[in-house]
Amino acid sequence: MFKKAIIGIKAAAVITAFAALTVTAAADEKIGYGQGVIVDGDNRPVGATDAQEKYSALGGVFIGEQGEKRIYLTFDEGYENGCTSDILNILNAKGVSATFYITYDYAARNPELVARMAAEGHKIGNHTYSHPSLPDCTDEEFFDEVIRLEQYVYDNFGVKTETLRPPMGEFSTRTLTLAKEMGYKTVFWSFAYADWETDNQPNPAEAYKKITAATHDGAIYLLHAVSKTNTAILGDVIDYWRARGYEITAI
């Protein structure tokens, strides 16, 4: 069985080794994930719990365990909009760690911010090298997208990426299988909302209500770091969660 390459081996050599991996009986149907709006009696999104049950054996992570008083805080970083430094300041002041999912372009354009993420104890997640829809990639292209970003982050910031977030939330059982064979968990979310349009930001009061009203055990929150609204309310949201006994951490 193919195992995740040891960091430090050049990506070209690893890609050659990857050619020997054969993934059998893995469906190629593209699935566009979203947690939906239906929740169970514990306020946990049914879309997330159903997906967790269906895909966890393939390394898919959509939601944590029921009864787990923990919230996993994650940020997607497609590009920089001037908010990440303030987000890091808030997390540092609150003593909270988070996971930042980055691409190559983000890392190359904002090395000081990525270095700060690593230095301040946050996890850096793999959002692929160039942000493609992963089901559209061949096996070799998939590997290249993941390992090139992994290699770049290690070479430049000295940390490994250990979890993968698929762009647009698009996946197939083949891509889950490939990621698992590479030693990755594919991390989705149990909460996300329309926060990414920089020219159409949600009202802070409404966003705060939406985010806090969705609180549930084992929640995986996806927030986009380009959002000025998210940045403005983040400290208050963390206080809300903590007041209700939740630990906030990276995944």
Count of other CB atoms within 10 angstroms of residue 177: 20
Q: Helix/strand/coil (H, E, C) string of 180-207? A: HHCCCEEECCCECCCCCCCCCCCCHHHH
- Dist CA 214 CA 199 (whole Å): 25
Contact 6, 154 (CB under 8 A): no
Q: Residues 154-159: contacts with CB within 8 Å, 24+ apart?
A: 154/7, 154/8, 156/107, 156/111, 156/114, 157/107, 157/111, 157/114, 157/115, 157/118, 157/124, 158/118, 159/118, 159/124
Query: Which member of 76, 144, 195, 217 is catalytic?
Result: 76
- Dist CA 73 CA 91 (whole Å): 10
Measured CA to CA in angstroms, residue 142 lies from 66, 147, 157, 179 at distances of 33, 9, 23, 9
- Dist CA 216 CA 157 (whole Å): 34
Query: Which member of 86, 224, 236, 239 is catalytic?
Result: 224
- Dist CA 139 CA 147 (whole Å): 12
Q: Is 195 a catalytic residue?
A: no
Measured CA to CA in angstroms, residue 65 lies from 2, 47, 166, 240 at distances of 29, 14, 22, 20
Q: Is 236 a catalytic residue?
A: no
Give catalytic residues, as residue numbers. Answer: 76, 224
